[in-house]
Amino acid sequence: MATVGISNPKSRLRLLLLEEHGIGEDPTVWEMDYDGGALPGDPRHTPEKLHKWLTSKKICPCEPRKMAETDLARKMEELSRSNRELEQFAYVASHDLREPLRMVATYTQLLAERYRGKLDRNADQYMEYATDGALRMQALIQDLLELSRVGREGGKKQSIDCDAVLEEVLRDMSSSIRDSGAIIQHEKLPAVTADRCYLLQLFQNLIGNAIKFRAKAPLEISVAAEAEGKYWRFTISDNGIGIAPDCQENIFTVFQRLHARTEYPGNGIGLAICKKIVEQYGGKIWVDSKPGTGSQFKFTLPAGQPCEQGAS
Partner 1 sequence: MQGAPEILVVDDNPADAVLVRESLAETSHQSHIYSVTDATEALAYLRRQRKYQMTARPDLVILDLNLVHRDGHKFLTVIKSDSGLRQIPVVVFSSSESLSDITRSYLLGANCYVSKPADLKRYFSAVRAIEEFWFGYASLPKKENDERSSCARIAD
Ligand X SMILES: Nc1ncnc2c1ncn2[C@@H]1O[C@H](COP(=O)(O)OP(=O)(O)OP(=O)(O)O)[C@@H](O)[C@H]1O
* Of positions 238, 239, 277, 300, contacts ligand X by CB under 6 A: 238
Residues 248-277 that bind Mg ion (CB under 5 A): 270
> How many residues touch Mg ion (CB under 5 A)?
2
For the chain, first and last CA: distance in Å? 53
Tell whether residue 209 is a contact of Mg ion (CB under 5 A).
yes
Tell whether residue 221 is a contact of ligand X (CB under 6 A).
no
The candidate with the shortest Cα–Cα distance to 213, out of 195, 231, 240, is: 240
Rounded Cα distance, 270 and 280, in Å: 16
Which region, judged by CB under 8 A, interacts with partner 1, from 22-30, 80-88, 97-105, 192-200? 97-105
Tell whether residue 81 is a contact of ligand X (CB under 6 A).
no
Concatenated DSSP letters of the chain: -EEEEEE--TTEEEEEEEESS-TTSS-EEEEEE---PPPPS-SB--HHHHHHHHHHTT-----HHHHHHHHHHHHHHHHHHHHHHHHHHHHHHHHHHHHHHHHHHHHHHHHHHHHTTTS-HHHHHHHHHHHHHHHHHHHHHHHHHHHHHHHHT----EEEEHHHHHHHHHHHTHHHHHHHT-EEEE----EEEE-HHHHHHHHHHHHHHHHHT--SSPPEEEEEEEEETTEEEEEEEE-SS---GGGTTGGGSTT--SS-TTTS---S-HHHHHHHHHHHTT--EEEEEETTTEEEEEEEEEB---GGGT--
202 vs 272 by CB, closer to ligand X: 272
Question: Which listed option, ligand X, partner 1, Mg ion, none, makes contact with residue 258 (CB within 5 to 8 Å by class)?
Answer: ligand X
Rounded Cα distance, 301 and 287, in Å: 15
Q: Fill in the per-residue mask, 110 to 129: x = in contact with partner 1 (CB under 8 A), - = not in contact.
A: x--x----------------
* Of positions 15, 105, 219, 241, contacts ligand X by CB under 6 A: 241
Question: Which listed option, ligand X, partner 1, Mg ion, none, makes contact with residue 113 (CB within 5 to 8 Å by class)?
Answer: partner 1
Tell whether residue 138 is a contact of partner 1 (CB under 8 A).
yes
Q: Fill in the per-residue mask, 171 to 210: x = in contact with ligand X (CB under 6 A), - = not in contact.
A: ----------------------------------x---xx
Query: Closest approach of Cβ 226 to ligand X, in Å?
Result: 20
Question: Which listed option, Mg ion, ligand X, partner 1, none, makes contact with residue 193 (CB within 5 to 8 Å by class)?
Answer: none
Please tell me the total number of residues recorded for the chain in this structure. 312
Which region, judged by CB under 6 A, interacts with ligand X, from 51-59, 115-123, 185-193, 254-262? 254-262
Phi, psi of 44 (to 5 degrees): -105, 120
Question: Which listed option, Mg ion, ligand X, partner 1, none, makes contact with residue 241 (CB within 5 to 8 Å by class)?
Answer: ligand X
User: Which residue of this chain has its Cβ atom nearest to Mg ion in the complex?
Assistant: 270
Tell whether residue 142 is a contact of ligand X (CB under 6 A).
no
> How many residues touch ligand X (CB under 6 A)?
22
Tell whether residue 79 is a contact of partner 1 (CB under 8 A).
no
The residue ranges that bind partner 1 (CB under 8 A) are: 98-99, 102-103, 105-107, 109-110, 113, 135, 138
The residue ranges that bind ligand X (CB under 6 A) are: 205, 209-210, 212-213, 238, 240-243, 251, 257-259, 266-272, 295
